[in-house]
Structure 1
Amino acid sequence: MTGPRTPHSKVASAIQARRDAGTGAVIGYLPVGFPDLETSIEAAVTLAENGIDVIELGMPYSDPVMDGPVIQAATQKALAEGFKIRDVFTAVRAITSRVSAPVVVMTYWNPVVQYGVQRFADDLAAAGGAGLITPDLIPDEGSSWIAAAEAADLDRVFLAAPSSSDARLRQAVEASRGFVYTVSTMGITGTRTDVDSAAHTLVERLRAVGVENACVGLGISTAQQVREVLAYADGAIIGSAFVRALADGGVDALATVAADLSSGAAVSR
């Protein structure tokens, strides 16, 4: 008979390793099934092989309210190609068998409910996944997911926005494991010329309520922006820039862009 498992966050460990090296983590997003399932697996492996510390796999959904036009187009193509929820577990299993970077899944909440919350958690853990990012689930409505994640020893990543009250920020910090997804701007995802200065203020507010890892996303598209974000945050999350590279130039172009953007983490704080 074995004793209870000691909770272990693969994502927090990856971020801590970068912190120990004097910098921060780079988290890379790609949708599962774009442009097809096999290529999406190769693309995720390519991110890890070109300096990306944590892989964020997006689960295509028919109503992606937080996604900008580049990611929406990619997820719609994946759905048109016949994406099924089980493809997420296939992808996670294939990626984690080839690279050591932890893999988290970003998903809207409805597909998890339809699949079965504990079943989803168990299948994700069995595939080698590290946890879930749930952009449209708030902690005070997430008790079933928190319990399922605890049982499966998975990370749970909730969002914090500039509009969040201090009480909401504290709630997100207490409910999250791995990191808190720090939304740098109000609105949808997509690359921007400047990363909103509101992100810096929001990270400071999260520090004040005890956050361990605050990772900033929505709008990062250059190595210089990665450097700017990692001067105050624990991680920089990149999505649209990678999806666009994959859409325009395939896996080879993605490798080039990933190597370039991950170089922004090479400069010590």
Structure 2
Amino acid sequence: MSRIDAQFAKLKASGRKAFVSYTMAGDPDYDTSLEILRGLPGAGVDIIELGLPFTDPMADGPTIQLAGQRALEAGMTLRRTLDLARTFREQDDATPIVLMGYYNPIYSYGVERFLTDAKDAGIDGLIVVDLPPEEDDELCIPAQAAGISFIRLATPTTDDARLPRVMQNTSGFVYYVSITGITGAAEAEAGDVAPEVARIKAAGDLPVVVGFGIRTPERARAIASVADGAVVGSAIVSRIAEGASVAEVLSFVRDLAGGAHSA
């Protein structure tokens, strides 16, 4: 059983929903990013999404775009991102880490080498937003053969004809994007999300977590109440961009996690 599967089984047994956090690797610098990363489990994070900095993040809004720029300017690379995860694993061998980003850096690094190094670093899953199911041979199938989950995005525009293709070869969980558009845009509405989550769950047996448009503990609770978990990214990254201390960032994360866990 993977760390992701084990975490969801543990949460289900305790009647709790998952809280998933997103931070950009190397934002605002390597050492601060590592300190935040190490503090996330203690702040209530069940699954860590770790952003892979990239120059052209097409699905991300200004907040995460700027985080990627800060990380790149601070010298962050794919190799250093894996080093960050590997160092985190020295103190935490249980919390799942999902690497989220784009295919270009992975392709440039070399898929086979990347999967070997990612597995060695303790990466449990991948979300690669610009690889559709038609390109599963590129990374999805090799990743799963290497023991790394490939997590697919479903969106409000994923219709019933498309959904089975999206679910095919997906593992770990399904990430439902609650709004159309980029990260950090509109707010997610539980009333809109609930029927979509039910539709996805009817198409497969994977947990469904919901992200985009969640900024407050109250919103995290509302969304988690209709899904298997909630993801918060831009709101956390905004605190880092504002220069909040590590303690302040983790306090904010703790409040968000408390919201999701109270659903």
Q: Report the TM range for the smaller structure's normalisation.
A: over 0.9
Deviation at 1:192, TM superposition (A): 4.2
Partner of 1:62: 55
Partner of 1:195: 189
Partner of 1:212: 206
Q: Give the Cα separation in 1 of the matches to 2:188 and 2:145.
A: 40
Identity %: 37
C-alpha offsets along residues 139-174 of structure 1, whole Å, 9 cap, x if unaligned? 121223123212210011111011012232222222
Partner of 1:159: 153
C-alpha offsets along residues 122-150 of structure 1, whole Å, 9 cap, x if unaligned? 11000111011111111121223123212
Identify which of 145, 166, 173 aligns with 2:167: 173
Q: Give the Cα separation in 1 of the matches to 2:190 and 2:228.
A: 16
TM-score after normalising by structure 2: 0.94
Partner of 2:68: 75
Deviation at 1:224, TM superposition (A): 1.2
Partner of 1:52: 45
Q: Give the Cα separation in 1 of the matches to 2:248 and 2:195.
A: 34
Partner of 1:11: 4
Identify which of 229, 245, 267 aligns with 2:262: 267
* Bigger shift: residues 29-38 or 97-106: 97-106
Deviation at 1:211, TM superposition (A): 3.8
C-alpha offsets along residues 195-220 of structure 1, whole Å, 9 cap, x if unaligned? 36432222111022124211101111
Q: Give the Cα separation in 2 of the matches to 1:106 and 1:151.
A: 19
C-alpha offsets along residues 1-24 of structure 1, whole Å, 9 cap, x if unaligned? xxxxxxx32112212211221121
Matched positions, count: 261
Instruction: Tell me whether 1:257 sits opposite 2:247 in the alignment.
Output: no
Residue identity in the other structure for 2:27: F
Query: Would the aligned equivalents of 1:96 and 1:102 in 2 still touch at CA under 8 Å?
Result: no
Instruction: Tell me whether 1:246 sits opposite 2:248 in the alignment.
Output: no
Residue identity in the other structure for 1:183: V
Partner of 1:113: 107
1:86 aligns to what SS in structure 2?
Answer: helix
Runs of 4+ aligned structure 1 residues displaced above 6 Å come to none
**Please, which runs of 5 or more residues in structure 1 have no aligned partner?**
1-7
2:19 aligns to what SS in structure 1?
Answer: strand
Residue identity in the other structure for 2:4: V
Partner of 2:120: 126
CA distance 1:199–1:241, change in 2 (3 Å): same
Q: Spell out the pairing of 1:140-155 with structure 2 (5 A cutoff).
A: 140-155=134-149
Q: Give the Cα separation in 2 of the matches to 1:130 and 1:141.
A: 20
2:161 aligns to what SS in structure 1?
Answer: helix
**Please, which runs of 5 or more residues in structure 2 have no aligned partner?**
none
CA distance 1:191–1:40, change in 2 (3 Å): farther
CA distance 1:40–1:191, change in 2 (3 Å): farther
Partner of 1:93: 86
Residue identity in the other structure for 1:86: R
Q: Give the Cα separation in 2 of the matches to 1:120 and 1:126.
A: 10
Query: Would the aligned equivalents of 1:15 and 1:235 in 2 still touch at CA under 8 Å?
Result: no
Deviation at 1:96, TM superposition (A): 1.9
Q: Give the Cα separation in 2 of the matches to 1:191 and 1:52.
A: 23
